[in-house]
Amino acid sequence: MRLFECGTLVPGCQWHTRADEDAEIVRRAVDHMRSAHGETMVRENMVENIKARIRAEGSAAAA
């Protein structure tokens, strides 16, 4: 299972998503960026930033 936590990109945001495929996580994250953060146009660098922050769910660093 793969994990994306929006707070790694948008400080303070608690939204996160899990999926088996990175492409599904990117799709969900882009939808979230539009609806929650008002992004009307998601540029390629935003997609790359999302992809760079997707990780295996078990690899979370202890806080």
SS percent in the chain: helix, strand, coil, step 5: 50, 15, 35
- Domain limits at 48? 2-59
- Total domains, the chain: 1
How confident is the model at residue 52, as a pLDDT?
98
Sheet architecture: strand order including 55-56: 16-19, 2-5, 55-56
pLDDT tens per residue across span 12-62: 999 999 999 999 999 999 999 999 999 999 899 999 999 999 999 886 554
Write down the pTM of the prediction: 0.87
Query: How confident is the model at residue 59, as a pLDDT?
Result: 67
